[in-house]
Amino acid sequence: MIHIILREKLSSALVLVPQVGNLTTDVNFWGTPEQLSEQNMPRPAYMVYTRDGTADLASSIATALASGSMALRSQNASYSQQLMTTATSLYNEAKAYPGLYTSGLKYSCTSRFSKANVGTAQGAQACPPPTDFANGTAAYFYNSTGYWDDLIFAAGWMFQATNDSSYMADVNSFYASYNSEEAPTDVGFITDYNHVFQAANVLLAVASNDVWYHQTVQTMLQNWICALGGTTAFTPQGRAWNPLAPTTGDTGNVAFLAAVYGQFHSTSISAAQSDRYICFARSQMRYILGDKTNSLMVGNGVKSPTHAQNRAASCPNPPTVCNADDALYVSTPNPHVLTGAVVEFATFSDNYQDVRTSNDSRVSITNNAGITGTMAGLVKAPGTWDSCLQGFGVLTGSGGVCKAGNVVSA
C-alpha cells in the first residue's frame, strides 16, 4: 500500500487503495494460497480519491508513515524523508477533505487494471459503475464511526516527527471537534482500528507532558484496571474483558497503552501508578500465554490452540486439494502451526474452546498488534512479575491507581 501511495496520483489528487480482494469470494474460499489464481479468484482493487473525504483513512496512513519515518531516520535517511513527504501530503489532504473513506469508494478494478490507465478511457472500461462498488468491499466490517480521533492521532505523530508547533495547534482544533461531535458516542474506553482517541492521548501525554492528556489517560487506565463504571470485568482467572471491546486483541491494545505510559517518566505519574500500569500489562500477557488457563497464542505457552481458524494452517500440504469439508469442519488439529497467532476469544470466560469453526478461534492481525507491542515493551520494563505480586493485588487492589482521586488534576 505504501508503494502505491508514494507513486500514484490522479489529476493532482491522491488516490488510496484501501482494499485488495473481494471480501465475499475471499470468505467463501477455504483453501491454500497455492490454489489461488487470477482465473478462480480475481483480486479487485478498491480505490478512493482523498478529495472525496477520506480523513479517517488518510490520517491513519499518515500516522503510519510519520512514525515509520522516525523509526528509519538513522538507518535510511532518504527513504525516511520520502515517507515523511508522503505523510505530509496525506495529512494535508485529510485536513482539507474531512469525511469517511467508505463514502468515497468509487472503483473496483481487477488486477489486470494498469496503473498507467487510471483516469483514461482504457482504465474506465476495466471498472464497473460506481453503484456496484459495494459488492465485495469490507466497508461493512471495517467502516469508521468518526474521523476526528484519527486526525488528532495524525497531528500528534506529525508533531513528534517534525517538532512543528503548528501540528499541536491542529491537535487543539481537532480535539474540540472530537469533544463536540464524537465524544458523546465514543464510550467504553476502547482502543482499536476504529477508536484511536485513547492511544492519541498517550502519545500526546508523552509528546507534550501536558497534564490534561495525563488526566485523560489515567482516567482510561483506572476504568480498565479497577473495573469502574461497567467498563471492564475480570474473569475469575484475571483477564480484563470489556463488553464493548471483547476480543483478546482489544485487551492487548489497552495493555500496550499501559505498558507505554507506565514507562514514561513524568511528575504527573506517581511511582505507584507506573508500577500498576506495567503490572497490569504483565498480568494480561501472562494470561494470554496460559499462566492460569490455556494459552491463547498458537505455538506458545501452556496448552496452546491447535485448531486456529486459518485456511493455510488447516489445509494439508499441496498437491492435496484443500476445501472446507476436509479442513475447516474436521476435528483433527491443524497440520501446520501458525506460531504466534493469537485467537480472538471474545467470550467472557476462562474456558477457551479450541474449535476451528468457532469465532473465538479466529486469528487476525488485529488480534496480534497490541499484544506484540506489549510484549516488546515489557522486555526492558522495570520490575518483575514477583514484584507485581508483593504486598497488594495485581488487578483491582492497588491504592496507587484505584483509590478515588488518584488521577492527576488538570
Average pLDDT on 89-109 reads 83
| Poorest-pLDDT segment among 124-128, 243-247, 297-301, 399-403 | 124-128
Average pLDDT on 108-137 reads 45
The CATH code of the domain that includes 204 is: 1.50.10.10
Cα–chain center distance at 5? 20
pLDDT at 114: 37
* Cα atoms found within 13 Å of the Cα of residue 398, Cβ hemisphere only: 27
Residues sharing a CB contact under 8 Å with residue 59, sequence separation 6 or more, in sequence order: 90, 91, 94, 147, 150, 151, 153, 154
266 part of a folded domain = yes
pLDDT at 110: 42
| Residues 396/234, Cβ–Cβ less than 8 Å | yes
pLDDT at 43: 79
The per-residue pLDDT of the chain, averaged, comes to: 86
Q: Residue 33's closest CA among 25, 23, 41?
A: 41
pLDDT higher than threshold 60 for residue 129: no
pLDDT at 180: 96
- Residue 378 grid coordinates: 515489557
Q: Which residue has the higher pLDDT, 319 or 221?
A: 221
pLDDT higher than threshold 90 for residue 321: no
Task: Report residue 102's pLDDT band, with 50, 70 and 90 as the boundaries.
Answer: confident
DSSP structure string for 225-263: HTT-TTS-EE-TT--EEBTTB-SHHHHHHHHHHHHHHHT
Total structural domains within the chain: 1
pLDDT higher than threshold 80 for residue 240: yes
Average pLDDT on 237-264 reads 96
- Give residue for cell 496520483: 9
126 part of a folded domain = no
pLDDT digits (tens, 9 = 90+) for 326-379: 999 999 999 999 999 999 999 999 999 999 999 999 999 999 999 999 999 999
Structural domain including 364 reads 187-410
Question: In this structure, which amino acid lies at residue 198?
Answer: Q
pLDDT at 4: 47
Average pLDDT on 124-139 reads 53
25 part of a folded domain = no
92 part of a folded domain = no
pLDDT at 153: 98
pLDDT at 116: 39
Cα–chain center distance at 196? 9
64 part of a folded domain = no
pLDDT higher than threshold 60 for residue 7: no
- Residue 240 grid coordinates: 480484563
Q: Is the peptide bond before 319 cis (omega within 30 degrees of 0)?
A: yes
161 part of a folded domain = no
Task: Report residue 391's pLDDT band, with 50, 70 and 90 as the boundaries.
Answer: low
Integer Cα distance of 267 and 265 in angstroms: 7
pTM: 0.90
272 part of a folded domain = yes
Neighbours of 400 (CB within 10 A): 17
170 part of a folded domain = no
- Residue 243 grid coordinates: 463488553
| Residues 84/45, Cβ–Cβ less than 8 Å | no
Handedness of CA 296, 300, 305, 307 (dihedral sign): positive
Q: Residue 252's closest CA among 238, 264, 240?
A: 240
pLDDT at 282: 96
Integer Cα distance of 25 and 353 in angstroms: 28
pLDDT at 398: 58
- Give residue for cell 463504571: 229
Average pLDDT on 158-174 reads 97
Q: Residue 271's closest CA among 393, 398, 410?
A: 398
pLDDT digits (tens, 9 = 90+) for 175-200: 999 999 999 988 889 999 999 999 99
Task: Report residue 262's pLDDT band, with 50, 70 and 90 as the boundaries.
Answer: very high
Integer Cα distance of 196 and 99 in angstroms: 16
**Angle of the 197-208 helix axis to the 248-262 helix axis, nearest 10:** 10
**Angle of the 271-288 helix axis to the 248-262 helix axis, nearest 10:** 150
Distances (CA, A) of 327 to 248, 322, 345, 353, 363: 24, 7, 21, 18, 16
DSSP structure string for 261-286: HHT---TTS-HHHHHHHHHHHHHHHH
Task: Report residue 400's pLDDT band, with 50, 70 and 90 as the boundaries.
Answer: low
Integer Cα distance of 35 and 32 in angstroms: 5
